[in-house]
């Protein structure tokens, strides 16, 4: 058990420390709405040095510490029972950029990054579908999106990081400076350090986006067309979904693809779509500004908040499936999935990433040219505890089947995992991660909610 402490025991900070009921209750809740681990204190740092001071204090006493961004962890990963939660949203400044890079605090959201980069005609290479996640939050897990088949994960687009280690040391790291720490922190699940700032590489932004929604009745054709499009790189953005027809119980498939362009140029639709086997009668297309495309989740979020399901449990599962297993494993899983398994606003996603574009050692992927992100984004009934438990148990069943076929997890899940599961997941990278944990967090205080090192 951690040593007890009060706010008066904490070091002097430029930010604020809180132990009121509202602050502690908020820090004991997350997007998943299932795990509730109440901390002893919430610290809203005023500068990176505050983070270092708090972590040093915690390390001396064996107090667990977790960094919390936008609170979108689904299973208590950003919680610290009896410990200290660092509310990183208080560190959200986007600093002046130089050239094609931008220095941002870890608590800044990707929306805030865009607000600073787009006026300069620049954009991050990879963005998650939802823009109101924090930079530090996505860098802790990888950060995949519809452009990952071109540019890898968000962790592959950072030039350098400022990190507080588990001993409270404030350090800078990159591929050239302190590379062991750099590789231990990117997609490291917060086990070896707290990211306080990141230098994000940028690329030229186009003015507009043209998006097509292409429908398929055949899973085989849907998968084949995604393989083709990802390999030749014709689209700047590509993701896929499986959609359940509640009346028939059958599944239909949606390929969502976009190209980015600037006037007077126009996309060549015939060249882009001509060899794909979608249902030509049901094509949907829209043309918007680049920013409007990136912010396409905003309307749906407003609806979900208004009708309440935004605040319901989210027993999500994200796995990476080997290419040679996708046409068997995914249809089998969907055949055993009905509306009750997904919930009223549940969503299934399926799209490939070229593993050769992923250069983050701790972002583990299956062997092969392509890995498929298969995401069952379930919504639970807040009044049906047993139903949520069944969804979590189902997540475990699917995970084990995926693992048995050579797959891995993309670690933003409501999925019980043991230390042995994590060791298997990290595979050849496990010895390096374990050594980094001993070196950078010898007291084992950082991010206990991930349950990687018991």
The number of domains in the chain is 3
pLDDT, position 2 = 76
* CATH at 369: 3.40.462.10
CA distance 445 to 203: 37
Q: Tell whether 141 is covered by a domain.
A: yes
Same domain, 214 and 325: yes
CA distance 174 to 162: 9
CA distance 290 to 184: 34
Active site residue 239: yes
Count of helix runs (H) and strand runs (E) in the chain: 15, 18
User: Of 204, 221, 256, which residue constitutes the final position of a domain?
Assistant: 204
Can you give the pTM of this predicted structure?
0.96
Active site residue 72: yes
Closest CA to 345 of 316, 372, 385: 316
CA distance 191 to 47: 21
Could you tell me whether strands 408-409 and 317-322 are parallel, antiparallel, or unpaired per DSSP bridges? antiparallel
pLDDT, position 247 = 84
Q: Tell whether 402 is covered by a domain.
A: yes
Same domain, 158 and 76: no
CA distance 95 to 198: 10
CA distance 99 to 122: 10
The one catalytic residue in 30, 81, 87, 239 is 239
- Cα distances (angstroms) measured from residue 210 to each of 238, 283, 285: 12, 13, 7
Helices (H), 244-307: 269-273, 290-294, 298-307
Same domain, 44 and 118: no
Q: Tell whether 218 is covered by a domain.
A: yes
Same domain, 116 and 192: yes
Same domain, 261 and 289: yes
User: Of 183, 204, 225, which residue constitutes the final position of a domain?
Assistant: 204
Active site residue 150: no
pLDDT, position 129 = 98
What does each of the 454 residues of the chain score in pLDDT, given as a tens digit?
678 899 999 999 999 999 999 999 999 999 999 999 999 999 999 999 999 999 999 999 999 999 999 999 999 999 999 999 999 999 999 997 777 899 999 999 999 999 999 999 999 999 999 999 999 999 999 999 999 999 999 999 999 999 999 999 999 999 999 999 999 999 999 999 999 999 999 999 999 999 999 999 999 999 999 999 999 999 999 999 999 998 888 999 999 999 999 999 999 999 999 999 999 999 999 999 999 999 999 999 999 999 999 999 999 999 999 999 999 999 999 999 998 889 889 999 999 999 999 999 999 999 999 999 999 999 999 999 999 999 999 999 999 999 999 999 999 999 999 999 999 999 999 999 999 999 999 999 999 999 999 8
Same domain, 310 and 174: no
Same domain, 122 and 249: no
Same domain, 147 and 249: no
105 with 196: CB under 8 angstroms?
A: yes
Domain limits for position 28: 7-87+441-450
Same domain, 115 and 165: yes
The one catalytic residue in 18, 72, 151, 314 is 72
Q: Tell whether 308 is covered by a domain.
A: yes
Same domain, 138 and 263: no
Distance linking the first and last C-alpha atoms of the chain: 13
Sign of the CA dihedral 424, 429, 433, 439? positive
pLDDT, position 377 = 97
- Cα distances (angstroms) measured from residue 307 to each of 70, 130, 185, 311, 345: 21, 19, 38, 9, 11
Closest CA to 183 of 443, 406, 431: 431
* CATH at 68: 3.30.43.10
Three-state SS for 268? coil
User: Of 158, 178, 204, which residue constitutes the final position of a domain?
Assistant: 204
pLDDT, position 249 = 87
Same domain, 72 and 131: no
Q: Tell whether 414 is covered by a domain.
A: no
Same domain, 172 and 258: no
Q: Tell whether 125 is covered by a domain.
A: yes
Q: Tell whether 423 is covered by a domain.
A: no
Using N-to-C axis directions, what is the helix angle for 419-426 and 430-440, rounded to 10°? 120
């Amino acid at each position: 058990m951690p040593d007890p402490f009060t706010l008066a025991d904490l070091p002097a900070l430029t930010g604020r420390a809180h132990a009121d009921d509202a602050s502690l209750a908020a820090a004991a809740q997350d997007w998943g709405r299932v795990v509730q681990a109440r901390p002893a204190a919430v610290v809203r740092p005023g500068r990176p040095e505050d983070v270092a001071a708090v972590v040093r204090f915690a390390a001396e006493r064996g107090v667990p510490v977790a960094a919390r961004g936008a609170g979108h962890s689904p299973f208590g990963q950003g919680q610290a029972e009896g410990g200290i939660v660092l509310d990183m949203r208080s560190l959200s400044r986007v600093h002046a950029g130089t050239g094609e890079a931008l220095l941002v605090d870890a608590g800044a959201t990707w929306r805030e990054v865009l607000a600073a980069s787009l006026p300069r005609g620049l954009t991050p290479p990879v963005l998650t579908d939802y823009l109101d996640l924090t930079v530090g939050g996505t860098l802790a897990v990888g950060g995949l999106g519809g452009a990952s088949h071109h540019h890898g994960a968000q962790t592959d687009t950072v030039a350098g990081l400022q990190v507080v280690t588990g001993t409270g040391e404030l350090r800078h790291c990159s591929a050239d400076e302190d590379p062991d720490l750099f590789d231990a922190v990117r997609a490291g699940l917060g086990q070896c350090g707290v990211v306080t700032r990141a230098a994000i590489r940028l690329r030229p932004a186009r003015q507009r986006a043209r998006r097509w929604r292409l429908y398929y009745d055949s899973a085989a054709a849907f998968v084949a067309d995604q393989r083709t499009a990802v390999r030749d790189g014709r689209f700047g953005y590509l993701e896929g979904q499986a959609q359940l027809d509640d009346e028939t119980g059958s599944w239909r498939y949606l390929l969502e693809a976009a190209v980015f362009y600037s006037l007077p140029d126009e996309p060549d639709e015939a060249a882009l779509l001509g060899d794909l086997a979608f249902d030509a009668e049901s094509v949907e297309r829209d043309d918007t500004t680049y920013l409007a495309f990136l912010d396409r989740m905003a309307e749906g979020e407003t609806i979900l908040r208004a009708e309440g399901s935004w605040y319901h449990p989210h027993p999500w599962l994200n796995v990476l499936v080997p290419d040679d297993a996708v046409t068997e494993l995914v249809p089998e899983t969907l055949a055993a999935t009905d509306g009750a398994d997904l919930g009223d606003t549940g969503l299934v996603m399926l799209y490939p990433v070229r593993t050769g574009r992923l250069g983050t050692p701790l972002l583990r992927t299956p062997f092969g040219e392509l890995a498929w992100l298969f995401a069952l984004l379930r919504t639970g009934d807040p009044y049906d505890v047993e139903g949520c438990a069944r969804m979590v148990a189902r997540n475990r069943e699917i995970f084990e089947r995926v693992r048995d076929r050579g797959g891995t997890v993309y670690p933003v899940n409501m999925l019980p995992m043991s230390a042995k599961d994590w060791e298997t997941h990290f595979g050849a990278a496990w010895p390096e991660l374990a050594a980094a944990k001993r070196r950078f967090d010898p007291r084992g205080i950082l991010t206990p909610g991930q349950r990687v090192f018991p």
